[in-house]
Amino acid sequence: MNPFLQDFVALTELPKWLLAIIITWVLFWKGLALWKAARRNSPTWFVVLLVINTVGILEILYFFLFSEMKFNSKENKKQAKKKPIRKNLSKQKAFIDN
């Protein structure tokens, strides 16, 4: 028998309650990660998360790690070069001195 088919048959031998838990787990994390990728306008991540199934591992990593990363775009570089404007510096110093 083909090794791939043997693995698939082994999956069907799992208890139904365990399969239900795994399916619920995967759908929850996949839905959450796809929602966040769509909200952040990340079409590449959306497609990757939609196509690749890793029992929720990739989805969890995206949700907590990759979606929080901010890749430098031209706008971000321009904003990073600007010096922050400090208004009312004298008031801040007076507050600290008291």
Cα separation, 21 vs 55, whole angstroms: 11
What pLDDT shows up at residue 49?
86
* Structural domain span for residue 13: 3-97
The answer to whether 63 and 57 have CB atoms below 8 angstroms apart is no
> How many domains does the chain divide into?
1
Taken in order 40, 45, 47, 53, the sign of the CA dihedral is negative
Tell me 67's DSSP state: G
pLDDT band at 70 (very low <50, low <70, confident <90, very high): low
What pLDDT shows up at residue 57?
87
More confident call, 17 vs 71: 17
> pTM (2 decimals)?
0.55
For the cut 70, the answer to whether the pLDDT of residue 92 exceeds it is no
Express each pLDDT in 9-54 by its tens digit: 676 777 888 888 988 998 999 999 999 999 989 899 899 888 888 8
For the cut 70, the answer to whether the pLDDT of residue 64 exceeds it is yes
What pLDDT shows up at residue 56?
83
What pLDDT shows up at residue 28?
92
